[in-house]
Amino acid sequence: MSLTLVDAFALLAAMSLLAAVPSLSVLAVTARAASAGFRQGAWVTLGIVAGDTVFIVLAIFGLQWLAAALGDAFVWLQYLGAVYLLWLGLRLWRADPAAGAQAGGAAGTAASSFMSGLLLTLGDQKAILFYLGFFPAFVDLAALTLTDALAVIVIAAVAVGGVKLVYAAVAGRAGAVTGPRLGRLLNRLAGGVLLAVGLYLMVRA
């Protein structure tokens, strides 16, 4: 097993922080929870986690296949992933929090809430590129096992799902979650994580 306990905790911390950054997915969860209650926000969260799981499976096993197929040339894909993460980190570091857009809507059903989260995530074409660049910093692809892959999926589900459920719980009670100052702090922290991961991949590659 290539994923150590330290790797697992580092991955959990990084993904939790990134999941906390104000984004469209956070807005979708909080808007549904504020308008229809925590349960509907939880269903949106489940849809988001399901979409992330699809991308994670594609990224992990796609990276395994590419590493085997490209051999030494795979290093260029690592450079590409590192550059992409550096670009994302810089954008997050410099970004201002969203101006607190509010979304309404009917209560809807569990199925509609789930599908809204799933389709929102699957519609993000950049997600697969993010995961392709992110996971090599935490997982040794050459030694990756099925157990490692399952562990990464569970960690991602706990990190992303846990943070989004907190948003849903708070929004269900208050209808609002982050102010500009907290949003800016989260952007800076998450941007710093991405910059650090990108630099690490550059050095390792």
DSSP-assigned states of every residue in 129-178: HHHHHHGGGT--GGG--HHHHHHHHHHHHHHHHHHHHHHHHHHHHHS---
pLDDT given at position 104? 41
Cα 193 to chain centroid distance, Å, stands at 12
Most confident option among 58-62, 161-165, 184-188? 161-165
Residue 113 amino acid letter: S
Task: Round the average pLDDT of the chain to a whole number and report it.
Answer: 76
pLDDT given at position 71? 64
Mean pLDDT of 63-68: 64
Tokens representing 112?
């509609």
- pLDDT category, 99, cuts 50, 70, 90? very low
Coil, helix or strand at residue 138? coil
Mean pLDDT of 16-39: 82
How far is the C-alpha of 204 from the C-alpha of 184, rounded, in Å? 30
pLDDT given at position 117? 84
pLDDT given at position 125? 60
187 vs 195, which has greater pLDDT? 195
pLDDT at 62 over 60: yes
**117 in Cβ contact with 47 (< 8 Å):** yes
89 vs 106, which has greater pLDDT? 89
78 vs 136, which has greater pLDDT? 136
pLDDT given at position 204? 66
